[in-house]
Structure 1
């Protein structure tokens, strides 16, 4: 086992995965800190490679203040770079544990995008409000004595748990690559392979990206989803 990186000695894993860490205004631009010494600096020629992603993870694990800590940060990461990132994380056990438990990110092997989610407080509020409303409705439905009650009783709130989908490729000769998603919220029947309800809230991100997310959730698994969009004003009255 490699010696832990000195950059992770101040690890304080006391923030939640919903993104409640310290934040600065969303309008600023994220500038990655200096790559940690365990990473080959020759690899850091591109500010969007796996070295910079690992540097961001280390900074967040150490509760280091970043220029931007809300919204979305997207990096260009090839499947090969993504594998190198995973191997690098395995050498930094405390950082890997922090990332697995606290950091939300999506990865698309095609076109090679890794997006770290850093939601704002109002984003988290909207997600929690909608999730609570759905959970309350499911609990009330489960109190009945019919088949709907039995079905509702088996639906669980999955939060932002990771969802693995297959990469859609026109070339059938190419092996499928897993697509990683960590949605804002989800609800899944205990007997289902995928969640039947996936929630993505667009506050700190471009609303147009929701169409791409809906495409992924609908077409990648062999499941039919119903897509519903609502404004924050509608969601704010749910609690």
Structure 2
């Protein structure tokens, strides 16, 4: 993941992905209102940053409650985000854990941080899909080993995991604000600076955010990210018995760059070309169809220009029946884990006893005291914060619609 010092320096200065043109740096005329300037507001700022750090610590220690939301979204001002990063720099152990284990997004435009708590189902499913895509790419490479140019291009495509991606947001109300994304899976060509294909596996809380995520990936990377795949697995459960679990509707969506007419101009836009196409129904029946990606989705345009049109449109195709099988297997693995079923290694006969040192953060009741103080500050500041949120959300909705009209690149 991206080192935090690098992130702080990028938050404090304009990134190289930001567009410096006067048009693109224009700030929308209507912005969310400034938060109250009272002492209460300052406590809200401090509390928000502290609550994020506390959540990171809970995550590190495995103390999150079982009912925790897998998609936790909180308001965080840019200066608060910088404070969180700076505090992490002072805690080497927590910083390393956050960099390696926690996936979160920070959106400079909306001023929200989103922390992702992905489950075994999400991880297993997206891994199976990525392996299948990469296997097909390698198969195409071997089938075209006699075609030097095509073979070389195919052989340069890699699965690049879940790297942090820092993007310049040209429409944030601070020129030094940046957007950080933590995609579930990416594909990148050896000769490219940025990943070209981003994959996001989601659930009900995240579904409504996918269009904005896709738009941010493409527009804020200046279309270096060329394809966003959203796989929404609406996983639900009824009651507390794992036997009663059922899968909800699972859908796939795809976004790609397109051009549109806007007045007398042709502009580049992020377009949803596949919209919530069902690959498995709520009663677990797979549907007809396929997830189809093109070679052009994975490869920089400069390299593609060396290939004839037919080769640029080589297809990577996963039938919906296969996607449904991947999802069913991921769900079965989760159920077995929850029930404690499956093979275990024999218990060791005489394990060495560990000498544990109490964690200073949790000793002497300091963690509980911190929690009580945090809740007290939250109650004191709730009126100011709620009034700010109500006015802010109303303005933000208008700002977002204005931004979508302006987030278009002139061709």
Smaller-chain TM-score range? 0.7 to 0.9
Q: Is the 8 A contact 2:71 2:206 kept in 1?
A: no
**How big is each residue's C-alpha offset from its partner over 1:177-223, in whole Å with a ceiling of 9 and x where there is no partner?**
22100111110011112211111122253312110111111211122
Aligned match of 1:237: 325
Partner Cα distance (1:232, 1:94) in 2: 42
Structure 1 residue 103 corresponds to structure 2 residue 102: yes
SS at match of 1:134: helix
Question: What's the counterpart of residue 24 of structure 1?
Answer: none
Query: Structure 2 regions of 5+ residues with no counterpart?
Result: 1-40, 230-252, 254-276, 281-319, 330-411
Residue 96 of structure 2 is aligned to residue 91 of structure 1 = no
Decide which moves more: 202-211 or 100-109: 202-211
- What is aligned with 2:180? 180
Q: 1:49 to 1:179 in 2, by over 3 A?
A: same
Q: Counterpart of 1:221 in 2: which secondary structure?
A: coil
Question: Which stretch of the first structure deviates more once superposed, 153-162 or 95-104?
Answer: 153-162
Quote the offset at 1:156 in angstroms: 1.3
Tell whether the 8 Å contact from 1:159 to 1:184 is kept in structure 2 after alignment: yes
Aligned counterparts of 1:218 and 1:68: Cα–Cα separation in 2:
33
Aligned to 1:223: 223
Aligned length, in residue pairs: 196
The CA distance in 2 between the partners of 1:66 and 1:170, in whole Å, is: 34
Change in Cα spacing, 1:108 to 1:48, as seen in structure 2 (3 Å) is farther
Report if the CA contact (8 A) 2:196-2:227 is conserved: no
Indicate the SS of the match to 1:111.
coil
Once structures 1 and 2 are overlaid, which stretch shifts more, 116-125 or 47-56? 47-56
Tell whether the 8 Å contact from 2:105 to 2:113 is kept in structure 1 after alignment.
yes
Indicate whether 1:206 and 2:206 are aligned: yes
State the match for 1:27 in structure 2.
none
Report how far residue 231 of structure 1 moved. 4.3
8 Å CA contact 1:70–1:204 kept in 2: the answer is no
CA separation of 1:104 and 1:81: change in aligned 2, threshold 3 A: same
Deviation larger for 58-67 or 206-215: 58-67
Structure number with the higher strand fraction is 2
Alignment of structure 1 residues 22-171 onto 2, 5 Å: 45=44, 49-143=48-142, 144-145=144-145, 146=147, 147-169=149-171
* Aligned twin of 1:35: none
Structure number with bigger Rg = 2
1:109 Cα deviation after fit: 1.5
2: CA distance, partners of 1:170 / 1:160: 25
CA distance in structure 1 between the aligned counterparts of 2:168 and 2:121, rounded to whole angstroms: 31
How many Å apart are 1:149 and its aligned residue?
A: 2.0
Give the superposition deviation at 1:50: 1.1
Corresponding residue SS for 1:105: strand
Displacement after TM superposition at 1:123 (Å): 1.8
Distance in 1 (alpha carbons) for counterparts of 2:133 and 2:78: 36
Q: TM-score, normalised by structure 1?
A: 0.73
Q: CA deviation at 1:48?
A: 6.9
Moved over 6 A (4+): none
Local SS of the residue matching 1:149? helix
Structure with bigger helix share is: 2
Task: Tell me, in whole angstroms, the C-alpha distance in 2 between the residues paired with 1:149 and 1:51.
Answer: 51
What SS does the aligned partner of 2:192 have?
Answer: coil
Question: CA offsets, 1:38-82, max 9 Å, x none?
Answer: xxxx97657971111000001111121324345210111111001
Report how far residue 176 of structure 1 moved: 4.2
Q: How does the TM-score come out when normalised to structure 2?
A: 0.44
The aligned residue for residue 385 of structure 2 is: none
